[in-house]
Copies of this chain bind each other. A is one copy, B any other.
Amino acid sequence: MKNQSSKSIKDIGEFGLIDRIQKLLPAHSSTEIIIGIGDDTAVVRLDDNRSLLATCDIMVEGTHFRFDYITPYQLGRRAVSINLSDIASMGGKPTYALISLALPEKLSPDDFDELYSGMSDQMADFSAVIIGGNLAQTSENMVIDIFMLGEIEPDKMLTRSGAEPGDRIMVTGELGASAAGLHVLEKYGLSYPERLDHLVQAHLQPEPRIDEGRLIAASGYATSMIDLSDGLGSDLRHILEKSGVGAEIYMEKLPQPEYITEAAQLVSRSTWDIVIKGGEDYELLFTVKPDTPDEIIENISRTTSTPVTEIGRILPEIDGCSIVDSKGDRHPLETKGWDHFDRVLTK
- Chain A contacts to B: CB under 8 angstroms: 4-10, 12, 14, 17-18, 20-21, 24-26, 28, 30, 33, 35-37, 39, 41-42, 44, 46-47, 52, 54-60, 62-64, 95-96, 98, 100-103, 105-110, 112-113, 116-117, 120, 124, 129-141, 143, 145, 147, 149
Contact = CB atoms under 8 A, between A and B. Distances in A.
Contacts of A141: 138-140
A98 B37 CA distance: 9
Contacts of A21: 116, 133
Contacts of A44: 95-96, 131
A321 to B, nearest CB: 25
Contacts of A52: 52
Contact of A113 (B20, B107, B134): B20
Contacts of A63: 102, 136-139
Contacts of A55: 98, 132
Contacts of A18: 135
Given A14-B135, A133-B37, A140 B143 contact: no
Contacts of A30: 129
Contacts of A14: 135
B8 A108 contact: yes
Contacts of A10: 105-106, 137
Contacts of A59: 136
Contact of A20 (B56, B105, B112, B147): B112
A113 B24 contact: yes
Max count, chain B CB within 10 A of own CB: residue among A20, A103, A147: A147
A139 B57 contact: no
A41 B139 CA distance: 26
15 contacts: A9-B103, A9-B105, A20-B116, A21-B116, A26-B120, A28-B129, A33-B129, A44-B95, A54-B96, A54-B98, A58-B145, A60-B102, A60-B137, A63-B136, A63-B137
In the complex, which of the residues A58, A63, A64, A105 has the most CB atoms of chain B within 10 Å of its own CB atom? A58
A289 B133 CA distance: 31
Contacts of A60: 102, 136-138, 143
A92 to B, nearest CB: 14
A106 B8 contact: yes
A4 B109 contact: yes
Given A37-B131, A57-B134, A96 B42 contact: yes
